[in-house]
């Protein structure tokens, strides 16, 4: 009897090689409505979370930035201003539908000069070592099958002195927030997904994937194991979201 490697897709166990296809299905399905759903999922607060994460990136004029799982381009829009015309932002996503949506959106905003696009898998980034001053993955790490490989790959493509950041839904730091958040994620969110994006299952998966994501301290340890130094995390909205930051020395 052969044993296939399995991993979690939300709360379900699936064959490791199937997860990429399943995640792709979720994001193909929600690409067009993704921003509206983000507003509903976070009551609009995701815009503030993203701004804070961008501040923590400390991007300066002329730097090279990789926005991994950059999807619809929110972080790239904020980061390219800081990198300036002498800098470069690479908007990268594994999903072609999300990348297309993001690219169209940025072109509509008139942002073309210092942005490039790449369809990549975060676990094995196709860039040379020591390329970027900053790599950020926003609301994407929890969808990656091998998170450790993705963190190692992020570390590899950073220049010495570069910053790696993970912005992700995390684990509430107090029981009241946790109860409210659970009710919202598992009872209300899939219903909103059904109503707005005609897609209850994809939003149930998103809620489950958040629950399966490592807690703050565990993710910090994972970053240290991947080679990052001076790792720290910042909780926002009672730990519903956290930004982790580490440096390549």
Contacts of 40 by beta carbon, 8 Å cutoff, 6+ apart:
189, 192, 196
Query: Strand 88-93 vs strand 158-169: parallel, antiparallel, or unpaired?
Result: unpaired
Tokens (6 digits) for 196: 């707005």
Residue whose entry in the numeric block shows the structure tokens 């790599």: 135
Residue whose entry in the numeric block shows the structure tokens 């002195």: 161
Tokens (6 digits) for 39: 């507003």
Q: Which of 77, 69, 71 is nearest to 51 (CA)?
A: 77
- Any bridge partners for residue 8, and if so which? 13
Helix or strand holding residue 18 (H, E)? helix 16-30
121 among annotated binding-site residues:
yes
Note whether 200 and 191 are within 8 A (CB). Answer: yes
User: Phi and psi (nearest 5°) for 141?
Assistant: -60, -35
Residue 17, SS3 per DSSP: helix
The secondary structure of residue 186, as a DSSP letter, is: I
72 among annotated binding-site residues:
yes
Binding residues: 72, 93, 121-122
Binding residues for S-adenosyl-L-methionine: 72, 93, 121-122
């Amino acid at each position: 009897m052969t044993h296939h490697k399995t991993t979690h897709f939300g709360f379900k166990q699936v064959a490791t090689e199937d997860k990429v296809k399943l995640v792709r299905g979720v994001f193909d399905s929600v690409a067009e409505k993704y921003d509206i759903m983000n507003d509903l999922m976070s009551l609009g607060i995701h815009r503030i979370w993203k701004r804070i994460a961008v501040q923590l990136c400390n991007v300066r004029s002329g730097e090279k930035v990789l926005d991994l799982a950059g999807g619809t381009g929110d972080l790239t829009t904020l980061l390219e201003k800081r990198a300036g015309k002498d800098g470069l932002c690479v908007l990268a996503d594994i999903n072609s539908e999300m990348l297309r949506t993001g690219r169209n959106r940025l072109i509509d905003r008139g942002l073309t000069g210092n942005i490039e696009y790449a369809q990549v898998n975060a676990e094995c980034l196709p860039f040379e070592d020591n390329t970027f001053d900053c790599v950020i993955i926003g609301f994407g790490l929890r969808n990656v099958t091998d998170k450790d490989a993705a963190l190692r790959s992020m570390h590899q493509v950073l220049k010495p002195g570069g910053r790696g950041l993970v912005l992700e839904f995390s684990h509430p730091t107090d029981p009241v927030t946790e109860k409210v958040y659970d009710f919202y994620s598992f009872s209300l969110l899939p219903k909103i997904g059904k109503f707005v994006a005609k897609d209850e299952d994809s939003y149930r998966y998103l809620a489950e994937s958040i629950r399966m994501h490592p807690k703050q301290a565990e993710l910090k340890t994972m970053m240290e194991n991947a080679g990052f130094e001076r790792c720290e995390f910042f909780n926002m909205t009672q730990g519903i979201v956290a930004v982790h930051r580490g440096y390549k020395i």
